[in-house]
Amino acid sequence: MQNTSAENRDEQTAIERQLVDSVVASYDSTADPRLKELMQSLTRHLHAFIREVRLSEEEWSKAIGFLTAVGHITDERRQEFILLSDVLGVSMQTIAVNNPAYKNATEATVFGPFFVEDAPEVALGGDIAGNATGQPCWIEGTVTDTAGNPVPGARIEVWQNDEDGFYDVQYPDGRVAGRAHLYADAHGRYRFWGLTPVPYPIQSDGPVGKMLAATNRSPMRVAHLHFMVTAEGLRTLVTHIFVAGDPQLERGDSVFGVKESLIKQFVAQPPGTPTPDGRDIGDRSWSRCDFDLVLAPERI
């Protein structure tokens, strides 16, 4: 006696495989070989996911609605798609693939959704905080290549949140604060005033935040300061520094961006401690951090 259910399963499997093959084959005449590879591989993986979890039509509809909501909330000041990529670990995986470890080069981490082009320039020793609130922090270091040669004139972009956990672009008044760019000196050295980083939640009032809540995941990011360093002939570095001792390190980072090599000491300085550049900050406490940046070759 024939096993009808087994026959039905075989027939269903054949139908599903035929569909995958048909969609993959639809890209056979794509002129760009890389685009062809990407589309065919994406098709195989997406169909494999649907078949593995036996995705229901209701679930498919909810997914479409979720992605539509991500698009609707995205604008020139908020990038919900990058946020989604971040919390899924896709951003960090892409970074890992495109920034292979090389000798003593500084490790890369997530770009994040809050970078803004054309941040103001500050001189060496300048203050990137602007009117952002928080504890002053003196940050200095060198920019070198992996052979230890200084990289004079390296462009260093820095941006960070204020003590309330917000970036300037999250305020509605168009302020520019907590971000700037500067250039390393002839010896590859840099220095500036910023703020002591504090933990903060990623924007959780949108669809990505609802997804995190539904899966019982925290929206918190570990305290950090963003860097992007560019120099001719060297690989662009996008990275953070994290604060040693931050309790959030033990709880985890919502975008999986932490790397041990990027956890640095932010040394507390009591009120009245002389500052490195003689700046008068009154009776406030401050901190300082040393962070040397090592750039890999552009081509490895």
Q: What is the pLDDT of residue 3?
A: 54
124, with CB counted inside 10 A (0-12, 13-18, 19+), is: middle
**Dist CA 266 CA 55 (whole Å):** 48
Q: What is the pLDDT of residue 7?
A: 79
Q: What is the pLDDT of residue 6?
A: 81
Condensed to tens digits (0 to 9), the pLDDT of residues 173-204 reads 989 999 999 999 999 999 999 999 999 999 89
Average pLDDT, integer, range 52-71: 98
Average pLDDT, integer, range 67-83: 92
How far out from the chain centre does Cα 24 lie? 32
Q: What percent of the chain has pLDDT over 70?
A: 99
Average pLDDT, integer, range 278-298: 96
Q: In the structure encoding, which two tokens stand for residue 222, read together? A: 């570990």
Q: How do beta strands 200-201 and 189-195 pair? A: unpaired
CB 289, CB 272: distance < 8 Å = no
Condensed to tens digits (0 to 9), the pLDDT of residues 22-33 reads 999 999 999 999
Instruction: Please provide the DSSP assignment of 111-124 as one string.
Output: --S---TTPPB--T
Q: What is the pLDDT of residue 112?
A: 86
181 vs 3, more confident = 181
